[in-house]
Amino acid sequence: MSVFESKVLLKKPVSEVYAFLADMSNHGKLMPENVIGWTSDADLASFEIQNITKLSLKIHNRITNREIIIIPAEKPPFDMELKWLLAESGTDTEATFTITANLNMLMKMMASGPLQKLTENETQRLTEIFS
């Protein structure tokens, strides 16, 4: 399994950050520009990564103010899990976004850079939204 992770400290209460991330409709605001055709509701999102693939993701589990686990709603090109972990730090929130992917050697060579960039992009956009 390959793991890609990015962590940020947000100057907002954990309940506010959790409320935003617990709704899949808000995740479209975190996506890079090459994500097109975003459609979503509170639990499910479908989109296309331009010139690469179409994906459908759903929230698999929510633990209030602590964790959100997102998994593919349809068979993806490779098995993966996306996880947001939230930790209260005084009045701030530490948010960690992790993508765990089961990549074969060829996929690992092709996808590692973009997946790491995606984790960093999502946490950076989250920082911008909450600043």
Give the pLDDT of residue 43: 97
Domain that holds residue 57: 2-129
CATH for 43: 3.30.530.20
Please write the tens of the pLDDT for every residue from 49-93. 877 778 899 999 999 999 999 999 988 878 899 999 999 988 999
Q: Residue 56's closest CA among 43, 73, 70, 33?
A: 73
Instruction: Compute the C-alpha angle 34/36/38, nearest 5°.
Output: 135
- Domains in the chain: how many in total? 1
pTM for the model stands at: 0.92
pLDDT score recorded for residue 77: 78
